[in-house]
Structure 1
Amino acid sequence: MPHNILIIGATGNTGRSVLAHLPALLTSAGLDYQILALTRSLTSPASQSLSLLPRVTILEKDWTTITTSWLLANSIQRIYVAPHNLPTQFFDESALLVAALAAGVKYIVKLSTNLCFIGPASPVYYGRAHWAVEELLSTPEYGDVMWTALRPNVFTSSFLGNTVDWIKEYRETGTQTCLNVIPAADVPIALIDPADVGRAAAALLALPNPSPHNRKRYVLSGPADVTGRDIADIVGREAGVSVAETKFQYQDWLEGLASQGYGESAVESIRAGIEMVWDGRSGLEGAPTAGEMLRLCPPSVGVAESLRAALEGRGE
């Protein structure tokens, strides 16, 4: 049986980009890995599209049910894991890592979170969870498993959704409503496109020898800082109109998280993270992209391009 690379979160915002780039990178590197990509639905349009890629087999499986025996039966040697950020994240992700260790998995690329969120005293609960997972991997018990943690800045897809909806509504009705923008008006933030994160993960997974990146934690930020006012200007240019009214530091969207399985304390924890972004810690000065990643696979997608891709459906 050939050795395989497992992609967890294959149809998610970064996983799709991993799959889009990994087959060609493996071929260029002369590696014969096949790719197993997990999805929650084989019939979804994303799964159907990804199944056409070379070397890729799409499997319908909940990654939180993965066991050592399953990894061994599928000859998994490398893993990309983009975990959920529900309150059970540490339980689920650490269970996967225990199984991977027992199965002799050789290399793991872990998607982490924004640098300013990560730490044992972070008010952001999933920042604490990512910190705990990274610390778990750093212990001597995991010495035989190589791993790299990618710490992306705030995703463009998370902070541009309101602006995409505003442009679509304006194009349909010709009427302007208030433009709600999550970033602060004048505070820089280096938003990163999920596609750039996926490209970086694919570049790591395709390395014949990933040992130079073993036990490394790499920040990934977008190619340039933007402010809320910059985003409003980009929206206006894309819509072909001067935006009449803009509300910055928009946070009403947080109230909708309750219907997605987030309790009140989790919502307030996420709110604390947004406030940390507003204080300037997510700009390039505070969170520059790691030099190793600038050399291997530098982020290149700017906010204007991300917005245009979302409007055209290329980011979905």
Structure 2
Amino acid sequence: MAPTVLIVGATGNTGFSLTETLPALLKSSKALSNHRIIALTRSADSPAAQKLAKVPGVEVVEKNWVDITADWLREHQVVRAFVASHNEPNQFAEESTFYMAALAAGVKYAVRISTTAANVRPDCKAYYARTHWAIENLLSQPEFSALQWTSLQPNVFSSFLLMSAAELIKEYRKTGNQHVLKLLAAKDAPVGVIDASEVGVFAAHLLAQDDVSAHNQAKYVLNGPEDITGKQIVELVEQYIGVKVDEVSYQDNSFIDMLYEMKYAATGQSKNVILSIKHALETSWEGKCSASTTSKEVLEIAAPKLTAADVLESLLD
């Protein structure tokens, strides 16, 4: 069996583009051309998984990543891994357990998806950002020195910020009516939104490096090529619908209350913890997530190209 690159979250918003990109990069590598790729999915019957199964050099395996053990990693000869974890309250327990298994199995390198760089700190009010800080802190300890790693900190995914704009445009085209445009963005604060697929492409380039030592314990900030403000999002919407937007609600994260009621209320999980997500975008409202924060390595290796306007157009297809 050949040495393996494992992709956890292969059908997700970052993992899919990574899985599509990686085979060609490995094929052109001197050190990694004999490596195979396992794309992990919880459902091999999903459209995304079936599409990835057609990519030459990719083997789709149905397995829940949180059940992976050191024995499983050894059996499949995993030497490098990509991890796009969930952000549920038990994230630290499950993601750290994976790295414990990886360390025991002799995995050499892992690339993981973190969150908004300005939030990855011990005093962030949003619980899951503290989790990412804790994971990075864990991996930085001497006990984990045998496992090299890189953490990717994309500031804000463009589809997340633009989804409500796309929904209003679709509604107007269909009915001629407008609902209140609820934007997560602040009116005037610039945000360097990035398309999730371009984060995956950058991750693929890291996983395909012959020598990853230069990226060990690095935390790379990723943004798109340019900033956008809430006001500019409104202007984009108006270009599509041909009239003024009737009403805009900026810095609107009211959907989180609905998320709690629909997904978490019946689970018994802490409402206080879940609702702390409301604080996650505060750093972007403060102007701390502009394109100027992008790490130079990102620009040198695989500079993102998709603008907010490009992504909005794709959301309308």
Place the TM-score, normalised by the shorter chain, in its bin.
Answer: over 0.9
The reply on whether 1:290 has 2:292 as its aligned counterpart is no
Partner deviation per Cα, 1:140-193 (whole Å, 9 max, x = no partner): 111111111111111112211211211111111122222221101111111111
Deviations 1:75-94 (A, max 9, x none): 11100001101010100000
The amino acid across from 2:263 in the alignment is Q
1:18 alignment counterpart: 18
1:278-301 per-position Cα deviation (integer Å, ceiling 9, x unaligned): 12221234xx11111110111111
Q: How does 1:150-229 map to 2 (within 5 A)?
A: 150-229=152-231
8 Å contact from structure 1 (residues 10, 19) kept in 2: yes
Tell me the equivalent position of 2:279: 272
Amino acid at match of 2:272: S
Gaps of 5+ in 1: none
Kept in 2: contact 1:147–1:216 (CA 8 A): yes
SS at match of 2:132: helix
Displacement of 1:256 after TM fit?
2.2
The one-letter code matched in structure 1 to 2:278 is: R
Q: Alignment partner for residue 243 of structure 1, among 242, 245, 266?
A: 245
Distance 1:148 1:275 in 2: 25
- Structure 1 residue 274, shift from structure 2 partner: 2.2
Query: Which residue of the partner structure matches residue 304 of structure 1?
Result: 309
Distance across 2 between alignment mates of 1:267 and 1:207: 38
Equivalent positions of 1:40-119 (< 5 A) are 40-119=42-121
CA contact (8 A) 1:153 1:222 kept: no
| Aligned-partner residue type, residue 280 of structure 1 | G
Q: What TM-score results when the alignment is normalised by the length of structure 2?
A: 0.94
User: 1:275 is aligned with what amino acid?
Assistant: E
Equivalent residue for 1:260, pick from 260, 263, 271? 263
Give the whole-Å Cα distance in 2 for the aligned partners of 1:266 and 1:155: 22
Structure 2 segments unaligned to the other structure (5+ residues): none
Structure 2 CA distance, aligned partners of 1:276 and 1:188?
Answer: 11
TM-score, scaled relative to structure 1 = 0.94
